Structure 1
């Protein structure tokens, strides 16, 4: 009986530890407790190495804010902070002072007004524009992606970066250790031999022993000469051109920016660069003057576990609460926390047109089944769901009335909101919002609406998989 008492005490200790550390995140707590019940000892070892709360790392947090202060001084010489939105421009968000106040008070993320925006809805065109910008680089190319493949597309970008490095352009590259785990050593070495600086963000083995394996840099950033920037959903690989036989045609949304907003893409890259390289860059040529006239307002929102403010989540929640006519969401992964669920249900019951567009062909089974587990509850409140049938949709777009539109790297899921390093752009001008609206409407034409009567015919086996996937989904 003594050994049973010892086992029980150890189990209670493990449960209590998880409850005390994860009490702020009920969904994550349930997921870890489920793993602990299935694998009593192994589960706790997994928790110890994988689930360390990143925000508790004060050194990392202080470093991030110190870099922010230093970069802000450089940026202040060039950018014009948008303290007020012009009444004459007719921005609809002026009618929502609370939401506008929230956005104005996002730490280190002012709304800037000297910007040009190009929405890239075709992956091939996005790659072409990125390669063209790289080819024109004179001073530096900053290249950061969650996934870089050693395939035809990956080698095309590698060759372009090798050429620029050979011309004396400073080429700096960051790739994520989990997202690019298949990237070959030869690929990286060829870049380094050409003079490019390459670093992995949290290599898997290092991240495991440092208890940060659960955190991933999901950003996709290209900055060329500090004047042209790209961000969005597209990584570097053949599958994004529809060459994956399972996923087929790939639909995504990427953005090309010029003007003040590029300074904040640059700032985010430099934050990440100091983290991976321990190099603090402050060359004024990283923030050159630009000739972009006063144009479209843009807000760049970086978000990640190294800061206390979940900027993309706060923006999304605030906009959902402010919606009066429509909320249109496109996301490949839909695993909302309870507050987003309540916000969407409340909006739909109040008569807001809430539509959520999801992939019909999943790239992750556990995420797909977890997503399905949320559909019935939201459909009963009036939310409409659509499954993209043309191929795989990877776009991450968010439209609320004419108030704002957002696009970038963050999915509508808890991992993107609270665990990943992400970056989104928020737009307020009618032209950009209308363009993203047209893309959404076209995607709906290429989708099938989920009908409740048909959806209810799912087998018990599938519903069981959905329940299990939902319980575990906060960890994936």
Structure 2
């Protein structure tokens, strides 16, 4: 019996040794930032069981093998479609403003196409009104409706959207709905799924969670995009989930969620459509490439030729580090003013350095974040960056009238970035995200007006008071900072 226990003991030790050695090799073989690598190694050695478990679920695996093969295949086919799109020369903007030029050049060289002109844009800031406009568009749809959301929570005005979709499907409109499995778990447990499918709506559960799939891909890679496409010419994107803000997470005590959405009419729907097509094919294996824009569509918006829009999509299978590069390029392009709104602020070292450098070279930099937060981990992790930002001259505003969920960057009131990307590691490196890059002074002024409203409803963080916070508070911040590369 003693020999048996010794064998078990040595087997456990040998297995543990192999796991540790393998994880160390995986951490070191891939070029990560030093803080991220050190965080993984220290976590594994200080908390071995917890560290190994975290690595197993969140360390290396991204998509399953099936999804990887599809992702590789669709990009070869999508490149052919992009070549066909390039033949529609009438939709491309040749010139950009000075502040936007570098970012649009980056997008052109990495994504293959220039910015799209002749679009009509509207910035929507009230979730209820946004839903009402969306419902109207759904009832007016003539051909097709495609949607992808991270969260669809049944109840309130979200049910009105569901009813509009069902009635549109019954009158012959082709409807496709893709929702993240984790974010929309309540929806998939509700009767709405069966009701929609019976009406003819194709409902897909993206990145589905189950015990078997956990073994083959990362658990925290999520479908975080928010996209609506109607008749291949109306598109929506931004930070809003399909929820009624009066009902959503009210028990957490953070107040009403504040979001931004952009409604666009014009040929940019085509490039957003290719992103949706790729996501749909990764999940279903079926291709639904959007139609190329016609000159007739373009003529409807010919008076908006000064506007130029790029669509940046991220996630496994999409151009690597594109979102991160775009954010850095935008920040370094600022000459006078930079305003950032984000609910989750755990930036990379490069982004932190870029923001501080902007302030130190005379740019007026403002960051607006929520005072009340639904994530304690991210809230504490973000605090460790405040001292460095304040020392550089960055103004930090804490929004007090709800959970500010808007994700936006405005550079010199001309270049706007609006989408789903949070300034944290998960959005920057993992999730399926989307950002609209908009070179338009009118849109920039509208966004500035909204951001200044946020500032009026915020507390300005005082550097002297911040520096006087307790020693133990600083210790807690440092602990969460240590974990920040893993958040």
Q: Same fold (TM over 0.5)?
A: yes
Report what 2:92 is aligned to. Answer: 82
Q: Using structure 1 for the length normalisation, give the TM-score.
A: 0.91
Matched, 1:293 2:299: no
Q: 2:38 aligns with which of 30, 34, 37?
A: 30
Q: 2:149 aligns with which of 145, 152, 157?
A: 145
User: CA separation in 1, counterparts of 2:36 and 2:157?
Assistant: 36
Q: 2:374 aligns with which of 343, 354, 363?
A: 363
Q: 1:270 aligns with which of 256, 274, 277?
A: 277
Matched, 1:340 2:351: yes
Shift of 1:334: 0.8
User: CA separation in 2, counterparts of 1:185 and 1:37?
Assistant: 43
User: CA separation in 1, counterparts of 2:288 and 2:455?
Assistant: 44
Q: Using structure 2 for the length normalisation, give the TM-score.
A: 0.89
User: CA separation in 1, counterparts of 2:28 and 2:339?
Assistant: 37
Report what 1:415 is aligned to. Answer: 426
Report what 1:449 is aligned to. Answer: 460
Matched, 1:219 2:219: no
Structural RMSD (CA): 2.7
Change in CA separation of 1:164 and 1:55 when aligned onto 2, cut-off 3 Å: closer
SS in 1 for 2:165: helix
Report what 2:408 is aligned to. Answer: 397
User: CA separation in 2, counterparts of 1:289 and 1:302?
Assistant: 27
Change in CA separation of 1:81 and 1:51 when aligned onto 2, cut-off 3 Å: farther
Q: Is residue 142–residue 224 contact of structure 1 (8 Å, CA) maintained in 2?
A: yes
Matched, 1:202 2:174: no
Report what 1:63 is aligned to. Answer: 73
Q: Is residue 146–residue 176 contact of structure 1 (8 Å, CA) maintained in 2?
A: yes
Report what 1:255 is aligned to. Answer: 262
Q: Which runs of 5+ in 1 are unaligned?
A: none
User: CA separation in 1, counterparts of 2:142 and 2:293?
Assistant: 12
- The number of residue pairs the alignment matches comes to 470
Shift of 1:324: 1.6
User: CA separation in 1, counterparts of 2:29 and 2:452?
Assistant: 43
Deviations 1:178-200 (A, max 9, x none): 21123215221221111110111
User: CA separation in 2, counterparts of 1:327 and 1:289?
Assistant: 38
Q: Is residue 400–residue 457 contact of structure 2 (8 Å, CA) maintained in 1?
A: yes
Q: 2:116 aligns with which of 112, 128, 145?
A: 112
SS in 2 for 1:357: strand
Shift of 1:50: 2.7
Change in CA separation of 1:210 and 1:445 when aligned onto 2, cut-off 3 Å: same
User: CA separation in 2, counterparts of 1:28 and 1:294?
Assistant: 48
SS in 1 for 2:120: strand
User: CA separation in 2, counterparts of 1:124 and 1:369?
Assistant: 31
Deviations 1:155-179 (A, max 9, x none): 2221111111111111100001121
Q: Is residue 64–residue 217 contact of structure 2 (8 Å, CA) maintained in 1?
A: no
| Deviates further, 351-360 or 394-403 | 394-403
SS in 2 for 1:256: strand
Matched, 1:373 2:384: yes
Shift of 1:222: 0.4
Report what 1:193 is aligned to. Answer: 198
